[in-house]
Amino acid sequence: METLKVLVVEDETLIRAVLQEALEDAGYSARFADSAAQAFDALEDQDETFAAVLTDIRLTGGGTGWDVARRARELNPSMPVVYLTGDSAGDWASLGVPNSILVTKPFALAQITTAISHLLNVDSSPPT
């Protein structure tokens, strides 16, 4: 069985390390980007296939997680998106993409893997 790859967009090294461990423990692999520009490059790389995007909202170097999610959905309208934020939850309704999940910092690692799994299961559910 192929391991599902998650694009993780996070500019804090310690959070990236914790997320990597949690994702690997849950059976996912991760590719990391620390800016919106790096995330765009990864999303547009024809050799990469991502099962989901996990993105912080506030990123250094220009661009936001909102921008990353919109680009991901332009390329794949059903791409599961999980947002991470410490202070931008109030903007989710107006800036977030539909059918996404927002997890506030600090978070429990189980929240992250549960959010990704939930969105992947919703996407693969047969229509009713």
pLDDT at position 127 is 47
Q: Which residues contact 37 (CB under 8 A, 6 or more apart)?
A: 61, 62, 63
What's the domain range around 95?
A: 5-124
- Reported as a single tens digit per residue, the pLDDT across 66-118 is 999 999 999 999 999 999 998 888 999 999 999 999 999 999 999 999 999 99
- State the chain's mean pLDDT as an integer: 92
| Host H or E run for residue 114 | helix 109-124
Lowest mean pLDDT among 41-45, 106-110, 116-120, 123-127: 123-127
Tokens of 52: 């989901």
86 or 125: which leads in pLDDT: 86
Mean pLDDT of the region 17-21: 95
pLDDT at residue 124 in the model:
57
CATH of the domain at 108: 3.40.50.2300
Segment 45-64 shows an average pLDDT of 93
| Number of domains the chain is built from | 1
pLDDT band of residue 56 (cuts 50, 70, 90) is very high
Distance CA 98, CA 78 (A): 10
104, two tokens: 């506030």
Cα distance between residue 66 and residue 109, in whole Å:
22
